[in-house]
Copies of this chain bind each other. A is one copy, B any other.
Amino acid sequence: MKDGPPERAPRRQARRIATERALVAAVGAVLRRDGMHGLGVNAVAAEAGADKKLIYRYFGGLPGLLRAFGESADFWPDLDELLGPDRAVLALPTAEMGAEIVRRHAAGLRRRPLTLELLAWECGHRDALTAVLEDVRQTISEALIAEMLAAGHHVPRGGRVLSSLFAAAMNYLAVRGRDIARFGDLSLDDDGWDEIGAVVGAAFAALLDAREAP
């Protein structure tokens, strides 16, 4: 964060950094406990055991603190998680690769309750935090595409659109799955997610095959 001189930090500065970290961590704790609607300077300061005034002094206000939080945590499945060890997923045929990435994306979301909370929050609001999240997402997305190109994959336009469509569906279903058990014909338990993954694979295969060989 900031640019604290690493060499021999005086006790003063060490203390400050400690409370800064406590505040940032408190954001996560409050978020987990009360969700986004319970997030305020009072709650965060109480959780951190610090005074809320320090939020203004150190971060300029809640948005600044949220920005620091957003940059500190791992909200999104990173490349290792999406592509597996040694980028193994890139070695699959294109259709399987697309499906596998979508599946891993969904699984990564579902095991991050905080990310789901923020994803839900994004649906209804637009503020500093959501902007940070979008930045991070965009970065990962671009890196992913670069990896695929470097691995020699060529995904036709329709395949890329289908990927985005499925990613949107995963986001929505992962968020809603916290509250509801079914959506349309889908059940949102582990078995249901397995079935979703299977159909995603079938759709990718069918669409890309149809494009390649008619």
Contact = CB atoms under 8 A, between A and B. Distances in A.
Contacts of A37: 124-125
Interface string A112-123: 000001011111
Contacts of A134: 180
A105 to B, nearest CB: 11
Contacts of A19: none
A34 interface: no
Given A141-B184, A210-B206, A199 B165 contact: yes
Given A124-B120, A169-B168, A202 B210 contact: yes
How many protomers of this protein does the assembly include? 2
Interface residues of A, number: 48
B206 A203 contact: yes
Nearest to A205: B210
A165 B167 CA distance: 10
Interface in A186-210: 186, 195-196, 199-200, 202-203, 205-207, 209-210
Interface of A: 35-37, 117, 119-126, 130, 134, 141, 158, 160-169, 171-173, 175-176, 179-180, 183-186, 195-196, 199-200, 202-203, 205-207, 209-210
